[in-house]
DNA sequence: ATTATCTTTTAGGCATACCAAAATTAATAA
DNA sequence: TTATTAATTTTGGTATGCCTAAAAGATAAT
């Protein structure tokens, strides 16, 4: 199999399986890749032989450890390139996806690591998606403001940068206390506001508030 | 035909034909591309249909205008990437060729032009090969020092930056006067010295001397 | 001019990666 | 449970781009 073919399948399976927690169906893959389902069946059988996926017929597919690693490496390349194009070359965040789709197939660790280093090893790309490091690990411990996070996912509140009574009362009212687990459900591009859940309640918080909440990914 | 296949053929034909001045044989292509001659025949017939080459059987091949243009665009992308990798990312000049071989296939004019701009639109790559501009033209009129040129080719001496009597006598002694045509035969990487011919005589000139001779490509 | 050599082309094959249509299997509803 | 519907797989087919071996054509030497 051509390496680009393998990469496109693994990447798509990874994205559809939400971090490899779910099994992916042939139909999902076929529609995402714009292929005929018959082609997907054929490809999956080969990927199974190559030990990149576990494929049980008429059931579904999931990535093996080596398949997931390869997928994460592709994701890293894609997101580093997107970040580079936006931050260093001045592209708009909406025009970089297609270019990164091609650049991601250039497999050279030194190149990607140098680009990452040049930008201070960013942890999120311009769309707010997390960038795995060279070892394939997603940053989870670094403290960031909720504004910097700008990504769907789960976080734990670790502190605030605004210590005024007004602000702390506001947080307390919504249960946004230190140690609380929150979940970012949507990120509004227009004004940077976030829709989050905290203790089963949904709250919309503004960019301003978000930028004063210090948290870490969980 | 896959665009990468087309590009690899056109690029190779361009390089073998020395700026499209000669006709290229199937065997030359086959050995350069590490393909069987039979495969080359087949590909050339398709490239002829696609109007990228003029191919007469058992004679040879040359690029059409559109084929040459495409080849030059590939050369531009390749050389811009090589320059970028060396100058901006700190790669060694000897390790960038393979990476550029992959990056050159990413066709996005805006990307290449931004990279070029970032570097001040360089006219030579780290190996001393000329970089065509976005319109496919090679720089020929710009005045440069012979040191900057660092490339095999023909030049005309247009002046000097060192006007001392000693220097001018030195030049005169070797016939390196204003208006003289010279030809750079080899560039010594170690010390930047050049082996040139001037009026049929061979002369080695140091980097120091070269950097005081102003010339233009002819 | 004829033979020997070298190059190019033809002919037939193979793997990849896609497709459409038919057959099978699984899921859902009556 | 059976019928219906939906998803998956099988079967057979296509274009691409490479291959080898044999045939044809061009070149060079005697």
Environment class of A11 (CB within 10 Å of its CB; exposed 0-12, middle 13-18, buried 19+) = buried
Phi, psi for B121 (deg, rounded to 5): 45, 65
H or E stretch including A7? helix A3-16
H or E stretch including A194? strand A194-198
CB A194 within 8 A of CB A187: yes
Q: B111 contacts in A (CB within 8 Å)?
A: 85, 89, 99
Residues 9-28 of A with CB under 7 A from strand D: 25-27
Question: Per-residue pLDDT averaged across B140-154, rounded?
Answer: 79
B118 reaches A (C-beta below 8 A) = yes
Question: Per-residue pLDDT averaged across B163-174, rounded?
Answer: 86
The pLDDT of residue A49 is 96
Task: Please name each of the domains of chain B with its CATH number.
Answer: 3-63 (1.10.10.10), 144-217 (2.30.30.90)
A140-149, B29-38, B181-190: which range is least confident on average?
Answer: A140-149
Instruction: Evaluate if residue B176 carries a pLDDT over 80.
Output: yes
Instruction: Evaluate if residue B151 carries a pLDDT over 80.
Output: no
Instruction: Evaluate if residue B129 carries a pLDDT over 80.
Output: yes
The pLDDT of residue B116 is 98
- CA-to-CA separations, B34 to B9, B26, B28, B30, B40, in angstroms, rounded: 12, 12, 10, 6, 10
> What are the pLDDT digits (tens) for B46-73?
999 999 999 998 889 999 999 999 999 9
The CA–C1' separation of A44 and D14, in angstroms, is: 21
Residues 23-82 of B with CB under 7 A from strand D: 34-36, 38-39, 42-43, 46, 58
Give yes or no for CB of A34 within 7 Å of strand C: yes
Check residues A89 and B123 and name the one with the higher pLDDT: A89
Q: A96 contacts in B (CB within 8 Å)?
A: none
Q: DSSP label at B191?
A: T
Phi, psi for B215 (deg, rounded to 5): -150, 175
By C-alpha distance, the chain B residue nearest A105 is B102
> Do B106 and A99 count as a contact with CB atoms less than 8 A apart?
yes
Sign of the C-alpha dihedral computed for residues A48, A51, A55 and A57 taken in this order: positive
User: Percent of chain A beyond pLDDT 70?
Assistant: 100
Specify the residue for token string 């030579």: B124
CA dihedral (A29, A31, A37, A40) in degrees, to 10, reads -30
Check residues B9 and B217 and name the one with the higher pLDDT: B9
The CA–C1' separation of B2 and C15, in angstroms, is: 16
CA-based nearest distance B73→chain A, Å: 17
The pLDDT of residue B85 is 98
Question: Per-residue pLDDT averaged across A15-21, rounded?
Answer: 85
> Do B85 and A111 count as a contact with CB atoms less than 8 A apart?
yes
The pLDDT of residue A4 is 97
Angle, alpha carbons A132-A135-A141 (nearest 5°): 55
Specify the residue for token string 């002046």: B159
Question: Per-residue pLDDT averaged across A13-42, rounded?
Answer: 94
By C-alpha distance, the chain A residue nearest B108 is A99
Give the Cα separation of B210 and B148 in Å (integer): 8
The pLDDT of residue B158 is 77
pTM: 0.75
Give the Cα separation of B134 and B110 in Å (integer): 10
User: Percent of chain B beyond pLDDT 90?
Assistant: 57
Check residues A93 and B128 and name the one with the higher pLDDT: A93
CA-based nearest distance A103→chain B, Å: 7
CA nearest to B76, candidates B108, B38, B51, B42: B108
Q: Which tokens hold the place of A117?
A: 């280093």
Average pLDDT, chain A: 91
The CA–C1' separation of A204 and D17, in angstroms, is: 56
Check residues B21 and A51 and name the one with the higher pLDDT: A51
> What are the pLDDT digits (tens) for B66-116?
999 999 999 999 999 999 999 999 999 889 999 999 999 999 999 999 999
Question: Per-residue pLDDT averaged across A19-45, rounded?
Answer: 95
Check residues A157 and B74 and name the one with the higher pLDDT: B74
CA-based nearest distance B158→chain A, Å: 37
The pLDDT of residue A128 is 72
Residue B163: partners with Cβ closer than 8 Å, 6 or more residues away: none
Average pLDDT, chain B: 91
A34 pLDDT tier (thresholds 50, 70, 90): very high
The CA–C1' separation of B5 and D18, in angstroms, is: 11
Check residues B211 and A96 and name the one with the higher pLDDT: A96
The pLDDT of residue A33 is 98
H or E stretch including B43? helix B37-49
CA nearest to A8, candidates A57, A59, A54, A75: A75
Query: Pairing state of beta strands A153-160 and B53-56?
Result: unpaired
Chain B from 93 to 112: CB within 8 A of any A CB: 99, 102-103, 105-106, 108, 110-111
B132 pLDDT tier (thresholds 50, 70, 90): very high
Instruction: Evaluate if residue A188 carries a pLDDT over 90.
Output: no
Instruction: Evaluate if residue A153 carries a pLDDT over 90.
Output: no
The CA–C1' separation of A1 and C15, in angstroms, is: 9
> Do A111 and B118 count as a contact with CB atoms less than 8 A apart?
no
Instruction: Evaluate if residue A25 carries a pLDDT over 80.
Output: yes
Give the Cα separation of B161 and B151 in Å (integer): 20
Residue positions counted in chain A: 218
The pLDDT of residue B88 is 97
Give the Cα separation of B128 and B125 in Å (integer): 5
Q: A118 contacts in B (CB within 8 Å)?
A: 89
CA-based nearest distance B28→chain A, Å: 27
Quote the longest CA-to-CA distance of chain B. Answer: 63
b or e along B127-153 (b: 16 or more beta carbons within 10 Å of the residue's beta carbon)? bebbbbeeeeeebeeeebbbbebbbee
Query: Pairing state of beta strands A53-56 and B213-217?
Result: unpaired
Closest Cβ opposite residue B90 in set A85, A103, A114: A114
Give the Cα separation of A61 and B16 in Å (integer): 48
Question: Per-residue pLDDT averaged across B184-190, rounded?
Answer: 83
CB A68 within 8 A of CB A14: yes
Give the Cα separation of B22 and B27 in Å (integer): 14
């Amino acid at each position: 199999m051509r390496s680009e073919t393998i990469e496109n399948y693994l990447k798509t399976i990874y994205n559809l399986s939400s971090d490899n927690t779910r099994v992916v169906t042939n139909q999902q893959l076929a529609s995402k890749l714009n292929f005929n389902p018959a082609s997907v069946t054929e490809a999956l059988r080969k990927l199974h032989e190559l030990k990149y996926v576990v494929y049980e017929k008429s059931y579904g597919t999931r990535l093996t450890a080596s398949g997931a690693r390869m997928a994460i490496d592709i994701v890293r390349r894609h997101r580093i390139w997107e970040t580079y194009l936006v931050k260093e070359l001045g592209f708009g965040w909406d025009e970089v996806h297609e270019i990164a789709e091609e650049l991601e197939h250039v497999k050279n660790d030194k190149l990607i690591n140098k680009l990452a280093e040049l930008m201070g090893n960013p942890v999120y790309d311009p769309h707010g998606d997390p960038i795995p490091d060279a070892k394939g690990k997603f940053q989870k411990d670094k403290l960031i403001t909720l504004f910097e996070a700008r990504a769907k996912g789960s976080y734990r509140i670790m502190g605030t940068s605004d210590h005024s009574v007004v602000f702390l009362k506001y947080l307390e009212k919504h249960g946004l206390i230190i140690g609380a687990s929150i979940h970012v459900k949507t990120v509004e591009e227009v004004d940077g506001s976030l829709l989050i859940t905290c203790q089963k309640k949904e709250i919309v918080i503004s960019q301003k508030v978000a930028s004063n909440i210090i948290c870490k990914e969980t």
